Structure 1
């Protein structure tokens, strides 16, 4: 009999590569998959149950503010419209429930019945946006409460990197979560040739102010003329994107191109030379996560140029497929790039090629299969 799996997500599945890969894993394991989310996944599944995107009225915002002040965290959670909506569903029994991110976990525990519950934490929720003062003031205690109370109730826990797994282990007093990285599927590509007169850099991802993408634009005013940069940015903040384009308009070596579906990114990036990721030293997650773009650059057979984020730096030093700046300043980053020779870039691209299979989703699928096989599911 085919086992039934439910996937819960409050992210945008049109652009959430991790949850889509998760669904693909379940289908490869011959599960019958139901998804509850705001929009459908990329892959065809048995059942999709849509929920309405959050719409906070002024009254609700005021009410939630007072709940926060008086630490009524259970009321904050279970009075959310999307949570009430899920509770109203007449759901079948499932063998497996996967809850993505901390805000799906309490409702997953409510509806799972006898199912095995896997909680995919993604990144570290209690410090999710710690560089944002308003978030720290209004949301951090709530996220910490949910993490401390509910994660220990999950049968399995996964996250994106070892330091985040250790942090959850310590904070929640649980067995160390299993690491499932953000690696995409293996692509059978070859490194492209480097043109010494035009070294092509690329950055893709979500256009968010906390990521300080303007720093990458400022960086280009410190680089030699042989470097050019293309952005592929997803955005729901037109004002910020327009600001970035105005800043870049002063440098004809920077372009903004239409975003590419995440499933086609490695092929779209393959003609570039260096995957660029200059980030601020802003948060625990920024320092310790392994983002999708890191693995996309490797599948595209690019050299990588990154700030000294601990987990990415560790892998780059292991595989010798990139450079890590000495610190988080633009000046340090510019010197690192300006010092590069074409032969070094070609060597790093070739090393990404050698690492591509090992750093693909093939290993994650094996880990996930073994994890779900423990005591059933």
Structure 2
């Protein structure tokens, strides 16, 4: 297995082609932006600096199977020499990934839609994270993606932690980027007051970023919130397990937000936490199906605080026990089986 990506070689790869992290994966050069504006997509599809470097490093190397990570990698996948089988792991809904950003909506979204229409009908296999998004790809591009969720491995060594009778321990982990609504969670725990704490395990945004500075100030002003360094993904369930409720309330700025099934959901399950989520099609369904927690009535601090205030100690215990009961079903074992079957089929061609 050969990997091609930013950063150093992953442990499982036999060979690695490293792309300079400073190079953008979209055509953000003056010429590239001009071509995007003129809708000259065929001539710009490999002009992103990272894509150009990747194409040069691949040269005439041939492979049996190419896995394209997200739709923007499709032109490069089809550029690989020979006739490899191509598997596109789409993750989410590519045409409207960041349509809440004006420049992305005007220039990149039409390009992404063109790439999907041009290449997806020609791939051998496609995958995405849930049935709602798979249906969108089917309706728009006539493909039938298989489902590979953002689940993590089953942690049979963890069980629900006991409740502290004096405090409900809330937790949130992930990237500190605008739109994630972390500031509303901080405000919510302050509205809840005594008897509640919030621990944040955040990956900082860019140095000097105004959002990160403002968020740090909000955390510093909160008597109930503690900021911790980020935790490696494989250690996250052990750290989160000490808490009671995982909180993630994402406003629906894009179709991906409305149909999300994020890794946080699966992190909370393996950590044996109850959960408090904002309304979203897929997470609503699973939370209700397995009785894992509550769905807030909206996305404001007041909505979050009201939902948490309505959970009794007995309710928290029930949610944590239900997460324990559902942990194996909601682990990555099903997704790994799907991926192995895909590779078996592609290898047999």
Structure 2 length-normalised TM: 0.93
User: Is 1:122–2:94 an aligned residue pair?
Assistant: no
Q: CA 1:83–1:42 in 2, change beyond 3 Å: closer, same or farther?
A: closer
TM-superposed CA distance for 1:60, in Å, is: 6.2
Which residue is 1:250 aligned to?
Answer: 221
Q: Find 2:117's aligned residue among 148, 162, 176.
A: 148
Runs of 4+ more than 6 Å apart: none
Are 1:297 and 2:268 an aligned pair? yes
Is 1:109 matched with 2:78?
Answer: yes
> 302, 326, 331: which one pairs with 1:355?
326
Please say if 1:86 is aligned against 2:57: no
Q: 1:54 to 1:147 in 2, by over 3 A?
A: farther
Residue 116 of structure 1: how far off its partner (Å): 1.7
What's the counterpart of residue 295 of structure 2?
324
The RMSD of aligned alpha carbons is 1.8
Give the structure 2 partner of residue 51 of structure 1.
19
Secondary structure class of the residue paired with 2:192 = coil
The Cα shift of 1:336 comes to 1.2
**Structure 2 match to 1:25:** none
Partner of 2:197: 228
CA distance in 2: counterparts of 1:363 and 1:208, whole angstroms = 30
Asked if structure 2 preserves the Cα contact closer than 8 Å seen for 1:224 and 1:338, the reply is no
* Contact 1:303–1:349 under 8 Å retained in 2: yes
Distance 1:243 1:152 in 2: 45
Q: Is 1:182–2:150 an aligned residue pair?
A: yes
Kept in 1, the 8 Å contact 2:61–2:80? The answer is no
1:219 matched to 2:217: no
Q: How many residues align?
A: 342
Alignment of 1:166 onto 2:155:
no
8 A Cα contact 1:273 1:349, kept in partner: yes
Equivalent position of 1:207 in the other structure: 176
CA distance in 2, matches of 1:62, 1:93: 32
* Structure 1 residues 112 and 271, CA gap change in structure 2 (3 angstroms): farther
In the alignment, is the contact (CA less than 8 A) between 1:34 and 1:48 conserved in 2?
yes
Paired position in structure 1 for 2:240: 269
Aligned CA distance change for structure 1 residues 225 and 41 (closer, same or farther; 3 Å): farther
Q: Aligned partners of 2:225 and 2:236: how far apart in 1?
A: 19
Contact 1:277 1:306 in 2 (8 A): yes
What is the Cα deviation at residue 63 of structure 1?
1.7
Find the residue that maps to 1:211 and give its secondary structure.
coil
Match of 2:69 in 1: 100
Contact 1:207 1:237 in 2 (8 A): no
The DSSP-based 3-state class of the residue aligned with 2:163 is coil
Question: What does the per-residue CA deviation read over 1:222-269, in whole Å, with 9 as the maximum and x for residues that have no partner?
Answer: 214211111111123232222111012221110110001111111111
Give the match's secondary structure for 2:68: strand
d(CA) in 2 for partners of 1:162 and 1:60?
33
Structure 1: tracts of 5 or more residues without a match = 1-32
| 8 Å Cα contact 1:281/1:328 also seen in 2 | no
Q: Following TM superposition, by how much is the alpha carbon of 1:41 offset from its aligned partner in structure 2, in angstroms? A: 5.3
For 1:27-38, list aligned pairs within 5 A. 33-38=1-6
2:105 alignment partner in structure 1: 136
Q: Could you report, residue by residue, the CA deviation over 1:76-110 in whole angstroms, capped at 9, with x for unpaired residues?
A: 22222222222223454322211001111111011
Tell me, in whole angstroms, the C-alpha distance in 2 between the residues paired with 1:276 and 1:144: 33
Give the 3-state SS of the residue equivalent to 1:99 in structure 2. Answer: strand
